[in-house]
Chains A and B, each alone.
Chain A
Amino acid sequence: MKFEDRTTALPADVLMRVDKPARYIGGEPGSVMKDEKDVKVRFVMCFPDVYEIGMSHIGMQILYGMFNSYEDIWCERLFSPWSDLDKIMRDENIPLFSLESGKPVKDADFLGFTLQYEMCYTNILQILDLSKIPFYSKDRTEADPIVIGGGPCVYNPEPIADFFDMFYIGEGEVRYRELMDLYEEHKEKGLSREDFLRAASHVPGIYVPSLYDVSYDKNGRFTGMTPKYEDVPARVEKQLVKDMNEAFYQTNPVVPFIRATQDRAVIEVQRGCIRGCRFCQAGQIYKPVRERSAENLLKQAQTILKNTGYEELSLSSLSTSDHRELKVLLETLIGYCNENKVNISLPSLRIDAFSLDVMDKVQDVKKSSLTFAPEAGSQRMRNVINKGLTIDDILNGSRLAFKGGWNKVKLYFMLGLPFEREEDAVAIADLCNEVAKVYFDTVPKEERHGSVQITASSSFFVPKPFTAFQWARMNTPDEFIAKAKITKQAVRNELNQKRISYHYHDCGTTIIEGIFARGDRKLSASIEYAYNHGAVFDAWTESFSYEGWMTAFKETSVDYEDYIYRVRDDDEAFPWDFIDCGVRKEYLLNEWKRAAEASVTPNCREKCAGCGCAVYGCGVCTEKRS
């Protein structure tokens, strides 16, 4: 049926009462319609946030394309209804529906959540609630879909484990076909939900929380997890794509009618990162780095632009500067884009002569600002976090940029890092001052167009699983604020203080994020409590309530401080230990010890640190070394 002849799932009068009704109509160019009768599985994929955020996520676009390339599967999309529609749906008893078919979510075979940040957890419950699916896996019946989660948050899924029937650990391209085949087989044979969950636990990468017993010591601290049955694996292995050039890529993505947060075509340059920054979770869980070839990327870019009509292209990866064919890639892309009136939105590149030259070619005359992410102010702290960026890199990069006509610099920092001292908070101000000084030393008075502007901002550090800092103690809100105030005062004391503006982020969400990052299964009760008392869209400052969460922990008797405000013992059992993500715990512990000594560990290309990922036999681990 043609789009113009379709009726929307929501009645027109409802659509006319909500903000941005196009969030809920589906049917965008690139969206896939199938006949329910022709498919065996209806898979509803949900990004538990508002449409414009979810539609900006390329992971979801990739999996949507991959699933729909299978004839027997119809993948549909679902996002969190905004509060205006949420209220109408409750008042008028309208069940939540998926965008493509407009049919109730409850009738789907699978409901998959992509979990990109911890602050979306209450939105999971909103989706289940509006779909009339029980919150807890144990309460679901044959009439409910299988609820599955994926994405970076599943590297510690325990705080939400009770809400999910299963999790997929790792990159979705690898095992979904196998899981779907297994499901179809069970469906055809008329086997039970329980049978399917048990069988699914044998699929590599699939974790079925209900099949494990969790133990705690007398103080309620997590001590371990054991499978309930012999055939259920004790360890779940992360799944990863070995060759990015062979992996499925979505060249015909869904193009939203309304402006999404990322309103452009995207190519994924590489997955993973060679740099072992000790605070960074993405750097560890996506190891080893695997590149797409420049040739392949150019072809993908051309196809996506032709299929979508986007006027802007962006490059996605954790550290694009490390791509070995970056030069040829950017040069060909810039040529192609200029010819076809497409803008390139450059990723943050390491600032050097080459990248400045590239920026010169794509940026308009009003040179926008340059960005550095030193993450810490002092060299000692940068060594602690293993950020291989020196003061010389920053100052030389700034000098080149100022000579090239830029006069705005953005600097990103973190506060509350382990082993941080008061002098490190002061060093942030000193570094900003040094950069300003470089400007005045480099650019003669008569060539200054407006003066240099330095914008420094700091976020507060959250220790994450599978990083060297998973043992670290997190700062309290008072400690965070005290440190930010030291930096702020130090900026005021600098000679060039008028050229520097310093901001720091709110720390309420940081604390809650920290609790979910390293918490355990006891937290599901707190999340349910918070949701039932009004928490939803916690990633949005206007709807977040710190006090609400504190009440939730208290009312559900969860000692949240134990998750964040102590240094964990070297041999402590972690709720996420059951996941094999390639990077071994001994390696991370060694990195934790090296951090204490402020020792730098070389990146993957300089020297293999023996993290454990070599077993995958792919990416940087198998590159020829000069």
Chain B
Amino acid sequence: MKIRFKFTRSGPMRFIGHLDMMRYFQKAVMKSGIKAAYSEGYHPHQIMSFAYPLGVGMETDGDYMDLEMTEDCDPEGLMEALNSVMHEGTYIKEVSVLSDTALNAMASVEAADYLLYIDGDPEKLKKAVSLMLDMKEIAAEKSGKNIREGIYEAYVSDDGNAVFLKLSSGSKLNVRPADVFAAIRKCDETLSLRMIKRLEIYGSEDGKLTPLIKCGVAK
């Protein structure tokens, strides 16, 4: 039975890298005593996969981990068991049972929402964001690819201290929030990025962007 967990990460735990997060979840599974399935072979490991690596320094309100279980179990009970051994700063907030044919978390990713916390003048920020949206071409730092069409939404929050982004993600066009900020900063160099928080990761159901917790769910 495949289970999808939606988790959050906040506070100092954001300074942990992706591989260490995986090790952290493996330990939590061991501690909780839930019946995770193991791979075959000489180095059996828990069959666990993550939707999208969380960069060092990032917080999240909605990241995903899939875990295979040896037997059918009550998903709410699993969530409770894991949360009882999880460390302060990471919590599981939702859980769903996947159908046997569901795509794994990583292969499902289509888009993600972000909040970029910015230090700088709110008016300047608003102007820079709208200038950025007027650009026809925005190059990704690493690949040089034009990522402009992958920026689905970008607007400044009411208090003027953050930018909301909806970005194309996954194998087709992966837009990194840091690249978008680099483009904003090109429009105004007084702005600086304090922190990135991922808000949600989407897959696709019936051609519509849908939070991963509702993708591939068993009927």
Residues of A at the B interface (CB closer than 8 Å) are 2-6, 8, 12, 15-16, 20-22, 25-29, 255, 257-259, 305-311, 341, 364-366
Contacts and interface: CB of A to CB of B under 8 A. Distances in A.
Given A258-B17, A341-B44, 17 more contacts: A2-B88, A2-B89, A3-B88, A4-B10, A12-B57, A12-B195, A15-B57, A255-B27, A257-B20, A259-B19, A259-B20, A259-B23, A309-B27, A309-B30, A311-B30, A341-B38, A364-B42
Q: Which of B15, B28, B42 has the most CB of A within 10 A?
A: B15
A3 B24 CA distance: 15
A625 to B, nearest CB: 43
A38 to B, nearest CB: 20
B142 interface: no
Interface string B87-125: 111000000000000000000000000000000000000
A258 B26 CA distance: 13
A4 B15 contact: no
Give 8 nearest A-B pairs by CB, closest first: A4-B11, A309-B27, A3-B88, A309-B30, A309-B31, A364-B42, A4-B89, A21-B15
B194 A257 contact: no
A5 B44 CA distance: 36
A257 B16 contact: yes
Interface string B181-199: 0000000000000110000
Nearest to A8: B12
B127 to A, nearest CB: 24
B47 interface: no
Contacts of A306: 31
Interface string B1-43: 0000000001111011101100110111111000000100011
A619 B29 CA distance: 40
A12 B57 CA distance: 8
Given A12-B195, A341-B38, A364-B42, A3 B87 contact: yes
Nearest to B14: A12
Interface string B125-159: 00000000000000000000000000000000000
B56 interface: yes
Contacts of A259: 19-20, 23
A311 B42 CA distance: 14
B178 to A, nearest CB: 11
Nearest to A29: B87
B11 A6 contact: yes
A258 B23 CA distance: 9
A4 B88 contact: yes
A311 B26 contact: yes
Nearest to B19: A259
Nearest to A366: B42
Given A4-B89, A366-B42, A309 B12 contact: no
A255 B86 CA distance: 13
Nearest to B88: A3
Nearest to A5: B11
Contacts of B16: 22, 257-258
Contacts of A364: 42-43
B217 interface: no
30 contacts: A2-B88, A2-B89, A3-B11, A3-B89, A4-B11, A4-B13, A4-B88, A8-B15, A12-B57, A20-B17, A21-B15, A21-B56, A21-B57, A22-B16, A27-B12, A27-B13, A28-B87, A257-B16, A257-B20, A257-B24, A258-B20, A259-B20, A305-B30, A309-B27, A309-B28, A309-B30, A309-B31, A309-B85, A311-B26, A364-B43
Interface size class of B (residues with CB under 8 A): 20 to 34
A259 B19 CA distance: 9
Contacts of A305: 30
Nearest to A30: B87
Contacts of B85: 309
B20 A22 contact: yes
Interface in B171-219: 194-195
Interface string B60-103: 00000000000000000000000001011100000000000000
B71 to A, nearest CB: 15
A6 B57 CA distance: 15
Given A4-B89, A22-B17, A25-B15, A309 B26 contact: yes
B27 A308 contact: yes
Nearest to A308: B27
Nearest to A3: B88
Nearest to B38: A341
Contacts of A258: 16-17, 20
A238 B14 CA distance: 45
A307 B31 CA distance: 7
A307 B28 CA distance: 10
Contacts of A25: 12, 15
A29 B13 CA distance: 11
A366 B10 CA distance: 42
Given A16-B57, A21-B56, A306-B31, A3 B12 contact: yes
A182 B44 CA distance: 52
A311 B29 CA distance: 10
Nearest to B45: A311
A12 B194 CA distance: 8
A255 to B, nearest CB: 7
B117 to A, nearest CB: 10
A22 B44 CA distance: 28
B39 to A, nearest CB: 11
Contacts of A311: 26-27, 30
B12 A6 contact: yes
Contacts of B38: 341
A312 to B, nearest CB: 11
A365 B42 contact: yes
Contacts of A2: 11, 88-89
Nearest to A15: B15
Contacts of B195: 12
B15 A22 contact: yes
A31 to B, nearest CB: 10
A310 B12 contact: no
Nearest to B8: A4
A328 B38 CA distance: 28
Nearest to A9: B12
B194 A310 contact: no
B153 to A, nearest CB: 26
A619 to B, nearest CB: 35
